[in-house]
């Protein structure tokens, strides 16, 4: 069966990259809920001979805050293992001497401390959730329209995610809105940008074909990783929808019920 | 000069269609403000041998309310002369036995009185302005995602308009957001849809080449009318921007300072 081919191809792997929301936990009221078996799966990976990194497009909170939440949910994770768009954006802004107008959650603001935000010459948009009011989106729009060359950075381009009380619109939806309003194309920072995946591979010191991405977002996680040369496996948790398995352009290397099953299929042939 | 060719070609015209916001008046606090000379220009057209209709993508208020505002601003306009997307949408919903979830301003709701809105099987989005909260957009998104085949109607597809206190995001921006979120293509009702222009021509009983559209929106007014076979002239009021005159895909038949100048160039060769 095609579905069982990927663990065989995965025997040459040296590293695994895990998406977080929808793979480790479902977000929602309070800290959200750990997905059954995912804590143990992370522990098994940590005890294995594979390197492990976490790669999230989470932009509602700083990494410190976010990792603290995951630890409260029982996950053995530290900030240095987590790659997220905001620090990557700060690097880009510094390298290009840009001053951003930020359309992000208050919780993300600490990541931008020390970045000059006066007289903005670009807009950075994250998953601002409830802060995506008409007024706030209009303000970002006016900043862009006031620039000779509108410059928009999007922290990810997700369409939606699942919280315990249902589906929620993600940053990509509002990025498309501003792109249309200003007739510009945003630069995406985070998944599925190849630069973002390459920075994770660089940190592990391995090649793309030696790495596997496991995520619930077919386009951003699986498609993004594959376009970078990595393998991509989708879990049937989080925002997974059955129609993903017959998607027009992206086909996962494998689809599994959850992280626990993925890790079992991965480690058992390695005798771990 | 190319700029002066259109009044010559316009000598065979039988009807004129005017956009309203940005041509007759600038919206803003209260009723907004009439654009200088536009009241007199409408009067001159009404006294001429040309038929006159008004064609707006205004969806913040019912036609009754909207026309009352224009009359307070001093314009001689009646409801029967005004074509707007909401009544056109009601016709479509009735013809196809659809039950809409409405994401529109409260002021537009009277246009949908008597339309069954229970157990919705489509979404109709208008210029909801301040009602475009994260929660309201998310609610429309969830309705669409709950349908076997998401069906979205957009009342126009404008990018932005100008009020007295600055540029404001228009319905098209939020339509693009929902299109991306749900991976659907909206059906546009209103300008620049050809069906909408044809309904205005039908009401006047004339052919497209006998009609001229005057608007401030290059794509929606001018481009829409031209794609229907009408002439399209842009005014340098409202949302006009100098870059419109070198647009990649739409080229107006003429560009004038304001409605007053357009009407003068149009009627003087006719001796009126």
Counting one residue from chain A and one from chain B, the pairs whose CB atoms sit within 8 A come to 79
- The confidence score (pLDDT) of residue A75 equals 98
Q: How many whole angstroms separate alpha carbon A237 and alpha carbon A258?
A: 6
Tokens 């990509």 locate to A172
CB contact under 8 A, A134 and B129: yes
Topology alike, domains A11-55+191-270 and A86-189: yes
- The confidence score (pLDDT) of residue B205 equals 96
- For residue A1, what pLDDT band results from cuts at 50, 70 and 90? very low
pTM of the model: 0.84
Q: How many whole angstroms separate alpha carbon B166 and alpha carbon A119?
A: 18
Among B131, B142, B180, beta carbon nearest to A172: B180
- The confidence score (pLDDT) of residue A3 equals 56
What's the complex ipTM? Answer: 0.83
Alpha helices, H only, chain A = 5-9, 38-47, 63-72, 85-95, 134-145, 171-182, 194-204, 224-227, 259-267
CATH code 3.40.50.1000 for A86-189: yes
Contacts of B166 in chain A (CB under 8 A): 142
CB contact under 8 A, B166 and A130: no
pLDDT tens digits for A165-208? 889 999 999 999 999 999 999 999 999 999 999 999 999 999 99
- The confidence score (pLDDT) of residue B3 equals 56
The CATH architecture to which A11-55+191-270 belongs is 3-Layer(aba) Sandwich (3.40)
Among A131, A177, A183, beta carbon nearest to B174: A177
Averaged pLDDT score across all residues of chain A:
94
CB contact under 8 A, B166 and A137: no
Residue A223 has pLDDT above 90, yes or no: yes
Contacts of A180 in chain B (CB under 8 A): 159, 172-173, 176
Longest dimension (CA), chain A: 60
- The confidence score (pLDDT) of residue B148 equals 95
Is A129 within 8 Å of A104 (Cβ atoms)? no
Percentage of chain A exceeding pLDDT 90:
88
Q: Compute φ and ψ for A216, nearest 5 degrees.
A: -100, -10
CB contact under 8 A, B169 and A176: no
Residue spans of the domains in chain A: they are 11-55+191-270, 86-189
The CATH architecture to which B8-58+75-83+191-270 belongs is 3-Layer(aba) Sandwich (3.40)
Residue A2 has pLDDT above 60, yes or no: no
> Which residue positions in chain B have pLDDT lower than 50?
1-2
Among A135, A160, A177, beta carbon nearest to B173: A177
- The confidence score (pLDDT) of residue A27 equals 84
Q: How many whole angstroms separate alpha carbon B83 and alpha carbon B67?
A: 11
For the beta carbon of residue B161, count every other beta carbon within 10 angstroms: 21
- For chain B, the first-to-last Cα distance in angstroms comes to 23
Helix (H, G, I), strand (E, B) or coil at B54: strand
């Amino acid at each position: 069966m095609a579905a069982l081919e990927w663990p065989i191809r995965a025997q040459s792997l040296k590293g695994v990259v895990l998406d977080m929301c929808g793979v480790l936990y479902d977000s929602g009221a309070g800290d959200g809920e750990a997905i059954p078996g995912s804590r143990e799966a992370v522990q098994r990976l940590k005890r294995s001979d594979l390197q492990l990194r976490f790669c999230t497009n989470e932009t509602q909170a700083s990494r410190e805050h976010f990792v603290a939440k995951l630890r409260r949910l029982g996950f053995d994770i530290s900030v240095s293992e987590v790659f997220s768009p905001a620090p990557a954006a700060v690097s880009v802004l510094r390298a290009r001497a840009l001053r951003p107008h930020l359309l992000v959650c208050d919780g993300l603001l600490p990541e931008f401390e020390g970045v000059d935000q006066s007289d903005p010459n670009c807009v950075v948009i994250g998953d601002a959730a409830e802060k995506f009011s008409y007024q706030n989106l209009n303000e970002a729009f006016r900043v862009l329209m006031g620039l000779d060359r509108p410059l928009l950075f999007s922290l990810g381009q997700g369409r939606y995610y699942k919280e315990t009380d249902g589906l929620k619109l993600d940053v990509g939806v509002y990025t498309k809105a501003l792109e249309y309003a200003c007739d510009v194309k945003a630069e995406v920072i985070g998944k599925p940008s190849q630069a973002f995946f390459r920075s994770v591979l660089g940190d592990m010191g391995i090649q793309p074909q030696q790495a596997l991405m496991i995520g619930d977002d077919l386009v951003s996680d699986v498609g993004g990783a594959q376009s970078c040369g990595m393998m991509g496996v989708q879990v049937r948790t989080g925002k997974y929808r059955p129609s993903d398995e017959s998607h027009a352009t992206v086909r996962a290397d494998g689809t599994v019920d959850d992280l626990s099953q993925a890790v079992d299929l991965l480690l058992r042939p390695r005798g771990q």
